[in-house]
């Protein structure tokens, strides 16, 4: 049943609120005028559920809010709603995300621009609510766009970007925003809430065009195709993913113009890298303690910096090559792990090394596994990471090692 939406106070004025990452996402759902969202509780994603339910109950948001019987149905519901032309939102965490895996795979295959968050959480077993990126990363080969946020503000901004980019006809792919459990989903920060008018300028109405599933537009979606058609379909999805790169750049430029935020590059956030010799590379909230360490180490005369990845898919290969080839050594910090992978490293580590493979002059890339299961990255660990990165400089083979940081023996 549709609720009566009250006129928002100060609706034409940008406001500030103290809110968690989950609440910031709920605000984005309201601002984007989402038609259908589907929910099923799992921590830390359920923070969005609660925040959105509160907005609806308070008459501030009108969205079809469907509580599913499990994550698989949850993702199927929005996939189908999207096919009939609804702007949708969905999300989950950890093993709940995995329970939806079939629906997640087919959503990308069908080019339906579902926007989701993955409140990053360690995969059970053992039970741990804290953040670890293996849940989001498990879909890295399926055709989802995967941005990662550092702050609650960025969570909201990336959500608005997600609908804009995902629904763009050149892309038409689903987007899953990675939000670190607890540190981002459940920590309240000051967030600037843009005006509805500005958001409306940024986000056009969702229009599937002749792909709309409707009796007036008789189409069949997802027939059995076998080997006769499948490679062509994969090729189409690949082209869409490739185009997403430029569409993100366009959207980022427009976003900056309208809202004055977003940084220089849509893909990389560089911190104190101008004269840096040794940098760390990673994504999500681990950038925060690392920046503290950088300021401390800089005072001691170390030329250190940070490059934070904002979009893991599409992987901004050229931007990364251009950025990282400037340094003597790069420490890639993975808040994930890939058992049995090359050099027993994390996912980011191996992707970054692969991106730099053909360079004549490569920095040493050292791997670090840190903060698994939401373990805090403390300052001594950050120092350790920089020291090991610096020690590896000049010896490219020393990067064939991944260091576990802060693990008890």
Binding site for other proteins (CB under 8 A): 109-112, 172, 210-211, 218-223, 225-229, 231-233, 235-236, 239-240
The CB-of-90 to other proteins minimum distance in angstroms stands at: 18
Q: How far is the CB of 367 from other proteins (least distance, A)?
A: 36
Min dist CB 332 to other proteins, Å, is: 34
Q: Do residues 176 and 144 make contact, with C-beta atoms less than 8 angstroms apart?
A: yes
The nearer residue to other proteins, 230 or 396, going by C-beta atoms, is 230
Dihedral pair phi/psi, residue 101, rounded to 5°: -55, -40
Helix or strand run (H / E) with residue 65:
strand 64-67
Alpha-carbon distances, residue 206 vs 34, 168, 172, 265 (angstroms):
10, 9, 11, 26
Tell me whether residue 236 or residue 354 sits nearer to other proteins (CB atom).
236
Residue number, 314 or 346, with CB nearest to other proteins: 314
**360: buried, middle or exposed (CB in 10 Å: 19+, 13-18, 0-12)?**
exposed
For residues 143 and 314, which CB has a smaller minimum distance to other proteins in the complex?
143
Distance between CA atoms of residues 85 and 107, nearest Å: 14
Q: How far is the CB of 147 from other proteins (least distance, A)?
A: 22
**Cβ at position 231, least distance to other proteins in Å:** 8
Q: Which is nearer to other proteins, 206 or 386 (CB)?
A: 206
- At its nearest, how many Å lie between other proteins and the CB of residue 361? 37
Residues 6 or more apart whose CB falls under 8 angstroms from that of 135 comprise 93, 94, 95, 97, 98, 118, 120, 121, 123
- Cβ pair 405, 385 in contact under 8 A: yes
Residue 64 CB, shortest distance to other proteins, in Å, is 22
Kindly state the smallest distance separating residue 212's Cβ from other proteins, in Å: 10
Q: For other proteins, which is the closer residue by CB, 16 or 228?
A: 228
Phi first, then psi: what are they for 202, rounded to 5°?
-80, -35
Angle among Cα 12, 157, 241 to the nearest 5 degrees reads 135
Q: How far is the CB of 106 from other proteins (least distance, A)?
A: 9
Using the minimum distance from each CB to other proteins, give the nearer residue, 197 or 233. Answer: 233
Burial (Cβ within 10 Å: 0-12, 13-18, ≥19) of residue 385: buried
Bridge partners of 304? 278
| Residue among 88 and 366 whose Cβ is closer to other proteins | 88
Question: Helix (H, G, I), strand (E, B), or coil: what is residue 330?
Answer: strand
99 touches 72 (CB < 8 A): yes
> For strand 311-313 and strand 364-369, is the pairing parallel, antiparallel, or unpaired?
unpaired
Closer Cβ to other proteins, 18 or 233, answer by number: 233
φ, ψ (nearest 5 deg) of residue 369: -105, 120
C-alpha to C-alpha distance for 160 and 171, rounded to whole angstroms: 15
């Amino acid at each position: 049943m549709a609720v009566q939406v009250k006129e928002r106070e100060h609706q034409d004025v940008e406001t500030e609120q103290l809110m968690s990452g989950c609440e910031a996402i709920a605000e984005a759902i309201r601002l984007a005028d989402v038609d259908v969202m589907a929910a099923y509780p799992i921590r830390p994603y359920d923070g969005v559920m609660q925040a959105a339910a509160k907005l609806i109950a308070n008459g501030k948001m009108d969205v079809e809010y469907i509580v599913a019987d499990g994550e698989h149905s949850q993702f199927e519901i929005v996939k189908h709603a999207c096919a009939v032309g609804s702007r949708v939102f969905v999300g989950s965490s950890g093993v709940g995300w995995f329970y939806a895996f079939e629906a997640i795979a087919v959503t990308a295959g069908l080019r339906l621009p579902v926007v989701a968050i993955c409140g990053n959480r360690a995969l059970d077993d053992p039970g741990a609510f804290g953040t670890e990126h293996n849940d989001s990363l498990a879909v890295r080969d399926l055709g989802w766009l995967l941005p990662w946020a550092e702050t609650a503000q960025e969570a909201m901004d990336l959500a608005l970007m997600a609908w804009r980019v995902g629904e763009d006809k050149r892309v038409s792919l689903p987007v899953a925003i990675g939000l670190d459990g607890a540190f981002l989903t459940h920590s309240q920060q000051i967030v600037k809430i843009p005006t509805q008018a500005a958001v409306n300028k940024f986000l056009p109405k969702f229009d599937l065009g002749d792909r709309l599933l409707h009796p007036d537009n008789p189409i069949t979606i997802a027939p059995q195709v076998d080997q006769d058609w499948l490679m062509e379909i994969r090729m189409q999805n690949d082209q869409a993913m490739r185009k997403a790169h430029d569409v993100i750049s366009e959207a980022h430029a427009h976003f900056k113009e309208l809202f004055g935020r977003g940084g220089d590059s849509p893909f990389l956030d560089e911190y104190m890298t101008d004269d840096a010799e040794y940098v760390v590379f990673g994504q999500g909230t681990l950038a925060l303690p690392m920046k503290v360490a950088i300021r401390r180490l800089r005072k001691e005369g170390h030329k250190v910096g940070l490059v934070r990845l904002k979009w893991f898919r599409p992987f901004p290969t050229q931007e990364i090559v251009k950025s990282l080839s400037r340094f003597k050594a790069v420490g890639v910090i993975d808040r994930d792990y890939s058992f049995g992978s090359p050099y027993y490293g994390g996912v980011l580590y191996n992707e970054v090394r692969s991106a730099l493979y053909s360079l004549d002059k490569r920095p040493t890339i050292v791997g670090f596994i840190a903060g698994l299961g939401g373990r805090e990255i403390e300052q001594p660990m950050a120092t350790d990471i920089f020291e090991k990165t610096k020690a590896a400089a000049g010896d490219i083979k020393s990067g064939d090692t991944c260091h576990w940081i802060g693990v008890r023996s």
